[in-house]
Amino acid sequence: MPTIGWFEILIVVAIAIVVLGPKDFPVMLKKVGSWIGTAKKYINNIQNEVSNIDIEDNNIEKKEDKKNES
């Protein structure tokens, strides 16, 4: 899988400035940053929910094991 280096990012930014124009480029950066932030929040929430489900399952299993031992 190819990796993206700094030179490639610089080329994409230069093309974006030419296509969007210097006035609209900062606005687009804000929007993209907002989208990335939202995506990170969703991923974080999903990870936390999965982690909580795993913790709850482990607690239930421990309680069942203790009942079976008695």
Helix extents (H) in 1-70: 6-20, 25-69
> Out of 1-5, 10-14, 15-19, 27-31, which region has the weakest mean confidence (pLDDT)?
1-5
Where residue 27 falls among pLDDT bands split at 50, 70, 90? very high
Fill in the DSSP letter of residue 22.
Answer: T
Asked if 21 and 14 count as a contact pair (C-beta separation under 8 A), the reply is no
